[in-house]
Amino acid sequence: MAEQRVLERIETTSGVSIFRIPLEVFSGYIAYAHLVVHGEHFTLVDTGSGFANSPDDMRHAFEEIRRTHGLAATIEGLHRIIVTHGHIDHFGGVPHLQSEAPDALITCHPLARPVLINHDERVLYTKGAMQDFMLRAGVPAEKRDTLMQMFMMGKQTYPPMRVDEVVEDGDRIDDTLEVIHVPGHAPGLIMLLIDDVLLTSDHILPETSVALFPESIMPYTGVGHFIESLEKAQQVAGVRMALGGHEWPMIDYYDVVERTLSEAHRKVERVLAHCDEPRTIYEIAAQIYDHMDGYGELLRIEQTGARVEYLNQRGMLMIDNLEALEQEHSPALRYKRV
């Protein structure tokens, strides 16, 4: 299905209006923010990246909502801005919006707060963890620098942002938006249920199974949390329409969750099938994927690492060269099926 880059209006059963706002967050890449209008309240869910066309797209969307739908929607008049998780295409617009809408409450899950209030600390901490991960994954020395540069590329610095309120699983924001915490793709990832419409952010997307990272790089991510959060997503009752942070609206939410879950298990099985012989994460990734270059290579190594970690946590893959671990700091580890 082709992506429609148009502003859409969706009504929930109790008459809450949700505007789906397309934003070009990187060149050629679209993410969606959502404006939720309930009574006198204007709540913005996610903020775009703050660069590329994202701020202009946001401004134009508000103009269109005023012009076409006759609502007094302004950025300055926002009551609340909810950040669904700490990835730049979702929170990067916060500094911008905070200066335009100083009275808006900035709201996120506690596990997303560190990214907002001290982004640079998170980036530098993660950089060290990533360097260790690449050593243990057995990434060839000549590739490591390039891959590290790619890893750091999208992680420009952001000023410290204010967080006014944190919300936990089960909370109801303004008696309208129910918070569902679904860690995996990101630690503080939340979905928001408004009557029969579910904002799934990056947890559930109609086509793409989202990127996963090992918990050794970022705690509270990883395949284990992702699978548990998919099972949790299955239990959310009464979803007529689901709106993700990318791609198109879903009217078949439960089928999409089911498919994503079986794909997650299938990909874990595929890693296991390549481990009859002891192999490093890098070698397993090279066996599974034909093309190992560019940004895709980095993602494939990380995803394979996340699956190996999941299997190792559950005693299905064990380290074959323990003696190296005894002698060196972060040696390349070889995993073998138990």
Q: Rounded to the nearest whole angstrom, what is the least distance from the CB of residue 185 to Zn ion in the complex?
A: 6
Q: Rounded to the nearest whole angstrom, what is the least distance from the CB of residue 151 to Zn ion in the complex?
A: 15
Residue nearest to Zn ion according to CB distances in the complex = 87
How far is residue 10's CA from residue 244's CA, in Å, rounded to a whole number?
Answer: 13
Amino acid sitting at position 84: T
> How does 121-160 read in b/e, with b if 16+ C-beta sit within 10 Å?
ebbeebeebbeebbbbbbbeeebeeebbeebeeeeeebee
Q: Rounded to the nearest whole angstrom, what is the least distance from the CB of residue 156 to Zn ion in the complex?
A: 16
Q: For residues 54 and 176, which CB has a smaller minimum distance to Zn ion in the complex? A: 54
Q: For residues 150 and 211, which CB has a smaller minimum distance to Zn ion in the complex? A: 211
Q: Rounded to the nearest whole angstrom, what is the least distance from the CB of residue 167 to Zn ion in the complex?
A: 18
How far is residue 176's CA from residue 38's CA, in Å, rounded to a whole number?
Answer: 8
Q: For residues 109 and 334, which CB has a smaller minimum distance to Zn ion in the complex? A: 109
Contact 82, 173 (CB under 8 A): yes
Strands ordered across the beta sheet of 190-194: 172-173, 177-181, 190-194, 197-201, 241-244
Chain mean position to CA 270: 23
Q: Rounded to the nearest whole angstrom, what is the least distance from the CB of residue 247 to Zn ion in the complex?
A: 13
Helix intervals (H) in 156-293: 222-235, 253-273, 281-288
Q: For residues 92 and 305, which CB has a smaller minimum distance to Zn ion in the complex? A: 92
Q: Rounded to the nearest whole angstrom, what is the least distance from the CB of residue 259 to Zn ion in the complex?
A: 19
Instruction: Mention every residue, 6+ apart, whose C-beta is less than 8 A from residue 29.
Output: 89
Q: Rounded to the nearest whole angstrom, what is the least distance from the CB of residue 65 to Zn ion in the complex?
A: 25
Name the site residues for Zn ion (rule: CB under 5 A).
87, 202
Q: For residues 123 and 135, which CB has a smaller minimum distance to Zn ion in the complex? A: 123
For residue 140 the two structure tokens come to: 């060839």
Contact 218, 129 (CB under 8 A): yes
Q: For residues 31 and 161, which CB has a smaller minimum distance to Zn ion in the complex? A: 31
Q: Rounded to the nearest whole angstrom, what is the least distance from the CB of residue 84 to Zn ion in the complex?
A: 8
How far is residue 152's CA from residue 126's CA, in Å, rounded to a whole number?
Answer: 10
Q: For residues 86 and 305, which CB has a smaller minimum distance to Zn ion in the complex? A: 86
Closest CA to 111 of 81, 83, 152: 83
Q: For residues 28 and 315, which CB has a smaller minimum distance to Zn ion in the complex? A: 28
DSSP string covering 230-248: HHHHHH----SEEEESSS-
